[in-house]
Amino acid sequence: MLIDNFMPGYDFSETHDIKIRAKAGDVFRALNEVDLCESPVIRLLFRLRGMPAGKTTLRGMRKLCFEILGENENQEIVLGLTGKFWKIRGDLRQINSENFREFNEKGFAKAAWNFSLDETDGATRLTTETRVRCLDEKSRKDFGFYWTLIQPFSGWIRKEMLKTIKKHAEKAH
Instruction: Tell me the domain boundaries of the chain.
Output: 2-172
Of residues 83 and 60, more confidently modeled: 83
Read off the pLDDT of each residue in 69-73 and give the average, rounded to a whole number.
97
Q: What percent of the chain has pLDDT over 90?
A: 81
Residue 43: predicted pLDDT:
86
Tens of pLDDT along 17-48? 999 999 999 999 999 999 998 998 988 888 87
Residue 127: predicted pLDDT:
98
Of 60-69, 99-108, 152-161, give the lowest mean pLDDT range.
60-69
Residue 53 pLDDT greater than 80, yes or no: no
Residue 108 pLDDT greater than 80, yes or no: yes
Residue 137: predicted pLDDT:
98
Residue 54: predicted pLDDT:
78
Residue 4 pLDDT greater than 90, yes or no: yes
pTM of the full structure: 0.94
Tens of pLDDT along 88-98? 888 999 999 99
Specify the fold of 2-172: Alpha-D-Glucose-1,6-Bisphosphate; Chain A, domain 4 (3.30.530)
Q: What are the DSSP calls for the chain, one per residue?
A: -HHHHH-SS-SEEEEEEEEESS-HHHHHHHHHHS-GGGSHHHHHHHHHTT---SS--TGGGGGGT-EEEEEETTTEEEEEEEE-TTSSSTT-B---TTTTTT---TT-EEEEEEEEEEEETTEEEEEEEEEEEESSHHHHHHHHHHHHHHHHHHHHHHHHHHHHHHHHHHHH-
